[in-house]
Chains A and B, each alone.
Chain A
Amino acid sequence: MSENKPESGPTVNPRVTWEGCSVLLDINDGDRLVFARLSAGSTLKIGNKTFSLQPLIGCPFGSLFQVESGKEKPYLSRFIPPTEENNVQDEGGCQLQEESRDNRAIIDNNQAQSLTGDDIDAMRRQGATGNEIVEALIANSATFDKKTQFSQEKYRLKKQKKYAPRVLLRRPFSRSICEAYFKKYPARIGFLRVDTLSLLLSMANVTANSDVLVLDMVGGLVTGAVAERLGGSGSVCNTYLGGTPYPMEIIRMFNFNNEICKRVLRCSVNDLCAVQNETSEQVSQREDVCTMESQSDEKTSLSVSTEEVHLSSKNGFLDLVPENELSTTGKTCKAPKAGEKAPKEAIQSWKENGFSSLIIAAPEQDAWILVKDLLPLLTYSAPFAIYHQYLQPLAKCMHNLQLEKMAIGLQLSEPWLREYQVLPSRTHPCMQMSGSGGYILSGTRAYSNTSQS
């Protein structure tokens, strides 16, 4: 079957990093997540040292890097862990048989470790690897042998994280991006958890060749996830109320190629609902009026977007003027731009055929007001999914949809996700669990004689 696989494989689903791509760096197994754009000059700070990210370019995603002491300064080198499965299995066998130690004799008085900080620095200067330092610490610990097996492993891991940190090169995908943002800046994505996002995509039947209407006030995460699932066919219309589009900077993390970027288009709700006979002048006039009116309302979204511009990478992204196709990119980074203004033909085609599904992710807006305007743009029998952080607005929306008989198969869901630590004899849920990932209202648009587009 390899002949049938399209040769554009590398660009559709790349497995190796390239200059200018964005990556997710997972430091010490999930302790810290950092988004970065790989270029000759980019760097990463771990602890109090800075490392160049140059060695990461051209490596497959999923590679592990460890800090090595170089001649002048430490650097990151690719690290291939030895096949440890056999060792772990043997250990597992031993554990179950005997464990007579416990911690009754261990006193925490900060005197168990005989190596001092200066000793460790000296070792580093002599070129000892991280692992060697860890072994030395273990050898010089008075209480190490008194610890239980589990406790020894925990100790070793802790020291390894500090003296021999590892960096995992992860591919940015809707799942990893959503997880990272949910952990670090959940407010920016409206507390949209990964399983909630996946439910949104499934319930709205996002598939190739469909035209999806998205109202995305969570930084572009939902738009990006939808574009990913479309894979370069169909289109995503990112719509917005008033005259100013919502910020969409998370899309740049996805590493979309040109084909996919072309499919992400923006259009205001006014343009979509406008009567066909109106000229473009009238439409833009109306937009200006709306912009002035909604300036005060949009203060929240504007302030959020300036914050993001400050924190975003060197590209200086400014999407408030969609006509501007050539952004001021750095010479090394050539990220294609998504989110161009929708051309007239596209708007016409959407009006004729209707959108094939609708996703709304607007955690601070009233759901019913949005749905009222956007649902008529959907073709009949099209599924839709609405995300909100709280239940009440969705309940009200569901009630109104039922009264107006606009939709059927309505369902209000609350997704639930619990993480487990899985280790022999130590499998249990993690100590901290996310309390709420939001709620989703889903349904299918019903045909009604009164609503003619």
Chain B
Amino acid sequence: MKISFNLCIRDGYLIIVYERHDTMKAVKVCKNSVLQNRFSVFEHSDWIGKPFGSIIFSNSGGFLYLLALTPELWTLVLIHRTQILYIADISFVIMYLEVVPGCLVLESGTGSGSLTTSFARAVEPTGYVYTFDFHEQRAASAREDFEMTGIVTMGVRDILGEGFPDQFSGLVDSVFLDLPQPWLAIPSA
């Protein structure tokens, strides 16, 4: 979704609600919902039709900014299920792996999906990201997150034990390993 002057907030969009630089939340805009915080109650319907970046005031003098979703902001607001990578490391990894649109990237483990979202942003629209995690529940939560934010294929697999799937042999551009014993995965990678 490309932001522009002509794009306004609509029902169903996932946006970032910014209170302060360290207090932000991802919220799905829903016509009949409200957002409650320590300032007051904000109705979602007030937001629909406003441009991104707008400031919304409440009756009691509090305010919110409504921002468009970017992977950087997503990293700051996502729910931590595991320790995540932050933007300093994420940017370094993407630069060093030379990821550009059209690349095929394999990743293990997914964790909370912070780096994965940034990979997805880097390879769109023609590339693919395949990410693996051996923990079923976290994989399911990550899958839900990706459906909300971007194009990623999530698989459940124990890379340390089984290695990467053979279908990728010879086709992959970059592999990222964030595992307790990465040297075991290297022959497969």
From A2, A199, A209, give the contact of B125 (CB < 8 A): A209
Instruction: Enumerate B15-30 residues with CB–CB distance to A below 8 Å.
Output: 18, 21
* A window 179-232: CB within 8 A of B: 194-195, 197-199, 201-203, 205, 207-210, 228-232
Tally the A-B contacts, defined by beta carbons under 8 Å.
140
Closest to A203 in B: B72
Is A408's CB under 8 angstroms from B18's CB? yes
Whole-angstrom distance between the Cβ of A359 and the nearest chain B Cβ = 13
Indicate whether A198 sits within 8 Å of B167 (C-beta atoms), given known contacts A13-B100, A229-B101, A446-B65: no
Closest residue of A by beta carbon distance from B4: A353
How long is the Cα–Cα vector from A356 to B91 in the complex, in angstroms? 19
Indicate if the CB atoms of A381 and B68 lie closer than 8 Å: yes
A387 on the interface (CB 8 Å rule)?
no
B98 at the interface (CB under 8 A from A): yes
B189: interface (CB < 8 Å): no
Q: Is the pair A208, B4 in contact by a Cβ cutoff of 8 Å?
A: no
CB of A343 within 8 Å of the partner chain: no
Known A-B contacts A13-B173, A175-B95, A381-B52; A353 and B5 likewise in contact (beta carbons under 8 Å):
yes
Query: How far does the alpha carbon of A445 sit from the alpha carbon of B51 in the complex, in Å?
Result: 12
The residue in chain B whose Cβ has the minimal distance to the Cβ of A383 is B70
A9 with B70: in contact, given A1-B171, A198-B94, A379-B3 (CB under 8 Å)?
no
How many residues on chain B are close to A (CB under 8 Å)? 45
Pick the contact of B87 from A202, A209, A381, A453 — CB < 8 Å? Answer: A202
Asked if residues B72 and A205 are in contact (CB atoms below 8 Å), the reply is yes
Interface residues of B in 55-74 (CB under 8 A from A): 55, 65-68, 70-72
Residues of B within 8 A of A208 (CB): 101, 124-125
Residues from chain B with Cβ under 8 Å of A229 in the complex: 100-101, 122
One of B71, B91, B126 near A198 (C-beta < 8 A): B91
A174, B91: Cα distance in complex, Å: 13
Q: Cβ of A210: which chain B residues have Cβ within 8 Å of it?
A: 2
Residue A352 interfacial (CB < 8 Å): yes
Number of interface residues of A (CB under 8 A): 51
Does B5 lie within 8 Å of A231, measured CB to CB? no
With CB as the reference atom, state the residue of chain A lying closest to B167.
A1
Judge if A47 is at the interface, Cβ distance under 8 Å.
no
Which one of B68, B98, B118 lies within 8 Å of A175 (CB-CB)?
A: B98
Q: Does A41 contact B (CB under 8 A)?
A: no
Closest A residue, CB atoms, query B9: A381
Residue of B87, B100, B122 touching A199 (CB-CB under 8 A): B87
- Asked if A239 is an interface residue, CB under 8 A from chain B, the answer is no
Report the nearest A residue to B51, measured CB to CB.
A380
A52–B90 CA distance with the chains assembled, in angstroms? 40
How far is it, in angstroms, between the C-alpha of A4 and the C-alpha of B167 when the chains are bound? Answer: 13
**B128 close to chain A: CB less than 8 A:** yes
Q: Which residues of B contact A413 (CB under 8 A)?
A: 88
Contact: A199 with B91, CB < 8 Å?
yes
Question: Is A12 among interface residues, defined by CB-CB distance under 8 A?
Answer: yes
A380 pairs with B91, CB closer than 8 A: no
Query: Given the complex of chains A and B, what is the CA–CA distance between A171 and B103 in angstroms?
Result: 16
Q: Encode A366-398 as 1/0 by CB contact (under 8 A) with B.
A: 000000000000011111000000000000000
In residues 428-447 of chain A, which contact B (Cβ within 8 Å)?
A: 444-447
User: From residue 122 to 147 of chain B, which have CB atoms closer than 8 A to chain A?
Assistant: 122, 124-126, 128
One of A195, A207, A232, A383 near B91 (C-beta < 8 A): A195
B residues within 8 Å of A by Cβ? 2-7, 18, 21, 51-55, 65-68, 70-72, 87-88, 90-92, 94-96, 98, 100-104, 118, 121-122, 124-126, 128, 167-168, 171, 173
Question: What are 19 A-B contacts defined by CB distance under 8 Å?
Answer: A1-B171, A12-B101, A12-B126, A175-B95, A199-B91, A203-B72, A203-B87, A205-B71, A207-B121, A209-B124, A232-B101, A352-B6, A379-B3, A381-B51, A381-B52, A408-B21, A410-B21, A446-B65, A447-B51
| Other A-B pairs beyond A231-B102, A380-B53, A382-B53, 7, CB < 8 Å | A1-B128, A1-B171, A5-B104, A12-B126, A353-B6, A408-B18, A446-B65
